[in-house]
């Protein structure tokens, strides 16, 4: 872990390239030897050659032998693969008695072997991508003197040059620990007698509406992990009637509702706060704006004008009587409402197992720092690891750290579009700059990535040094 609370993990390795050039059976040495099941493949830095060599028709005399040497050539470059030696009876025992074979060849006795399963592994070099594989055969006499030589083409290799990729070190930012203050909100339409401020808890729909407020408070109180630190009530009246009277009603009804809640819970006086809005013109505007009223545009102009509230209401009532009657009967009752908010603090969690459980059930109770702590106990790159950072950014959609870490995880999984979206909200800290360089490099915009990494290095991101080296090499590779 670095001093600035940055953690690192390596990206998963890239899969190796595999290619093959299978060929049909082909005769060599005037048809006395047949090569079949030929395949050449490349993985990492090795080249694999496999073939079946049928020597059953070779028919060598007892003092003769045949040396078969596969070779790879490309221009002046040549590599000799391990040879095989098929010997007649006398030559075979000669080699056994002397304990050696020419050219370190694998020795076989003619007539006792039908098909040789040839396998060879050699170091891979780039020029081999388009090399030619041949079989050089030499028949030798009793003293090892060559009697005949042949060099016959088996196949031409056709490997594509191996594409190299940018492999960055992802940088995560550890979120700062902070208090978890949450708020749950709601709205209730309490019915009051006309022009009065008293609450009757059995009046009209009041049992249901009052229960909404109490149920919200109860849900928070019942959770052992939470502590209520504030309850706010704001009352609204509708524009009907005079502004002065509506102010009296909004203020008085809000105070009455506060006293009702206080009686239910005996909260400290400082815990309950109130506010009021004499007339809910904003709520009326929202309704009219999305309505199908015939005079919608004209009514909106009145609502948005600089007229005094009483003058606005009078003008709508006088100039648009049908619309006003509709609003009075269907919209104004909903504008007489009480909005409430319960603010509470959630305790800190240190048990990773508990945090992982809450990630699945109640992620809203976790801080970014707690989610990050749980992720450190997960397998980097796993589905659970990625989902943890996705949950974090869903819970804190505008937090730069949450967006930066989610972007880094998305790039690990190859989702560059998602990463780009998160990076747009990741802020301008040095780690975010580095992440934007990673996105550019993974998108193969190497010149742009180099410029970004250069700046990130200057701002103290050590990982930018290796990133610069890689993009410099990739930018100079042939297209």
Residues 254 and 235: beta-carbon distance below 8 Å: yes
Helix ranges, 42-198 (H): 89-98
Residues 63 and 90: beta-carbon distance below 8 Å: yes
- Cα separation values, 399 from 261, 393, 456, Å: 35, 7, 21
Query: Token digits for 158?
Result: 């056709």
Query: Token digits for 284?
Result: 């009326």
- C-alpha span between 82 and 149 (Å, rounded): 17
Q: What is the pLDDT of residue 21?
A: 45
Q: What is the pLDDT of residue 6?
A: 38
Q: What is the pLDDT of residue 185?
A: 95
Neighbours of 180 (CB within 10 A): 20
Q: What is the pLDDT of residue 283?
A: 95
Distance of CA 86 to the CA centre of its chain: 59
Question: Is the C-alpha dihedral spanning 364, 369, 375, 380 positive or negative?
Answer: positive
- C-alpha span between 240 and 217 (Å, rounded): 31
Q: Which domains does the chain have, with CATH numbers?
A: 26-156 (2.60.40), 171-176+348-475 (1.25.40.10), 180-344 (3.30.1330.60)
- C-alpha span between 88 and 128 (Å, rounded): 35
**Phi (first) and psi of residue 464, to 5 degrees:** -65, -25
Neighbours of 251 (CB within 10 A): 18
Residues 50 and 118: beta-carbon distance below 8 Å: yes
Which residues, 6 or more positions from 236, have their beta carbon under 8 angstroms from its beta carbon?
A: 250, 276, 277, 279, 280, 283, 335, 336, 337, 338, 339
Helix ranges, 105-242 (H): 206-221
Distance of CA 225 to the CA centre of its chain: 31
Query: Token digits for 120?
Result: 């060879």
Helix or strand or coil: residue 5? coil
Residues 5 and 174: beta-carbon distance below 8 Å: yes
- Please return the burial class of 47, using the count of CB atoms within 10 Å of its CB with bins 0-12, 13-18 and 19+: buried
- C-alpha span between 448 and 436 (Å, rounded): 10
Angle ∠(331,337,339) on CA atoms, nearest 5: 135
Query: Token digits for 83?
Result: 């040879």
Q: What is the pLDDT of residue 478?
A: 61
Which residues, 6 or more positions from 346, have their beta carbon under 8 angstroms from its beta carbon?
A: 180, 182, 225, 226, 365
Walk along the chain (479 residues) and give the pLDDT tens digit of each residue.
333 343 433 333 333 333 344 457 889 888 899 999 999 998 878 999 999 999 999 988 899 999 999 999 999 999 999 999 998 898 888 888 887 666 678 899 998 889 999 999 999 998 998 899 999 999 988 776 778 888 999 999 888 766 778 998 999 999 999 999 999 999 999 998 888 899 998 988 999 999 999 999 999 999 999 999 999 999 999 999 999 999 999 999 999 999 999 999 989 989 999 999 999 999 999 999 999 999 999 999 999 999 999 999 999 999 999 999 999 999 999 999 999 999 999 999 999 999 999 999 999 999 999 999 999 999 998 999 999 999 999 999 999 999 999 999 999 999 999 999 999 999 999 999 999 999 999 999 999 999 999 999 999 999 999 999 999 988 877 65
Helix or strand or coil: residue 138? strand
Q: What is the pLDDT of residue 1?
A: 33
Helix or strand or coil: residue 238? coil
- Please return the burial class of 41, using the count of CB atoms within 10 Å of its CB with bins 0-12, 13-18 and 19+: middle
pTM for this model (two decimals): 0.64
What proportions of the chain, in percent to the nearest 5, are helix, strand and coil?
A: 40, 25, 35
Q: What is the pLDDT of residue 102?
A: 60
Distance of CA 348 to the CA centre of its chain: 27
Residues 105 and 120: beta-carbon distance below 8 Å: no
Neighbours of 224 (CB within 10 A): 7
């Amino acid at each position: 872990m670095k001093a600035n609370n940055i953690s690192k993990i390596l990206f998963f390795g890239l899969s190796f390239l595999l290619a093959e050039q299978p060929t049909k059976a082909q005769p060599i040495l005037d048809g006395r030897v047949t090569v079949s099941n030929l395949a050449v493949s490349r993985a990492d830095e090795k080249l694999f050659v496999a073939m079946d060599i049928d020597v059953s028709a070779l028919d060598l005399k007892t003092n003769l032998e045949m040396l078969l040497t596969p070779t790879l050539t490309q221009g002046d470059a040549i590599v000799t693969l391990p040879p095989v030696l098929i010997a007649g009876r006398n030559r075979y025992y000669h080699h056994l008695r002397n304990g050696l074979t020419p050219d370190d060849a694998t020795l076989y006795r003619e007539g006792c072997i039908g098909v040789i399963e040839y396998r060879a592994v050699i170091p891979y070099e780039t020029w081999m991508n388009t090399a030619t594989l041949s079989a050089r055969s030499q028949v030798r006499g009793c003293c090892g003197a060559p009697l005949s030589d042949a060099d016959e083409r088996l196949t031409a290799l056709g490997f594509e040059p191996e594409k190299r990729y940018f492999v960055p070190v992802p940088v995560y930012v550890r979120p700062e620990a902070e208090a978890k203050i949450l708020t749950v909100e709601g709205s209730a339409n309490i019915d009051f007698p006309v022009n009065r401020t008293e609450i009757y808890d059995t009046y009209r729909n009041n049992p249901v509406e009052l229960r909404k407020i109490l149920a919200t408070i109860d849900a928070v109180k019942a959770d052992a992990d939470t502590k209520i630190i504030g309850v706010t009530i704001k009352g609204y009246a509708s524009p009907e009637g005079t502004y002065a009277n509506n102010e009296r009603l909004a203020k008085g009804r809000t105070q009455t509702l506060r006293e009702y809640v206080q009686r239910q819970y005996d909260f400290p006086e400082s815990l309950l706060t109130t506010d009021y809005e004499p007339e809910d013109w904003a709520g009326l505007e929202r309704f009219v704006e999305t309505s199908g009223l015939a005079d919608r545009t004209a009514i909106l102009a009145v609502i948005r004008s600089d007229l005094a509230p009483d003058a606005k209401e009078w003008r709508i009532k006088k100039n648009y009587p049908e619309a006003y009657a509709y609003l009075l009967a269907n919209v104004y009752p909903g504008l007489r409402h009480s909005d409430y908010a319960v603010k509470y603090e959630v305790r800190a969690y240190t048990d990773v197992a508990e945090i992982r459980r809450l990630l699945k059930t109640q992620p809203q109770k976790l801080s970014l720092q707690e989610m990050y702590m749980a992720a450190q106990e997960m397998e980097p790159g796993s589905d659970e690891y990625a989902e943890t950072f996705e949950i974090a950014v869903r819970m804190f959609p505008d937090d730069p750290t949450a967006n930066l870490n989610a972007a880094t995880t998305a790039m690990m999984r190859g989702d560059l579009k998602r990463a780009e979206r998160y990076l747009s909200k990741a802020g301008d800290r040095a780690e975010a700059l580095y992440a934007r360089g990673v996105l550019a490099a993974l998108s193969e915009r190497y010149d742009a990535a180099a410029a970004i990494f250069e700046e990130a290095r200057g701002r103290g991101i050590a990982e930018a040094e290796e990133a610069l080296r890689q993009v410099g090499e990739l930018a100079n590779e042939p297209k």
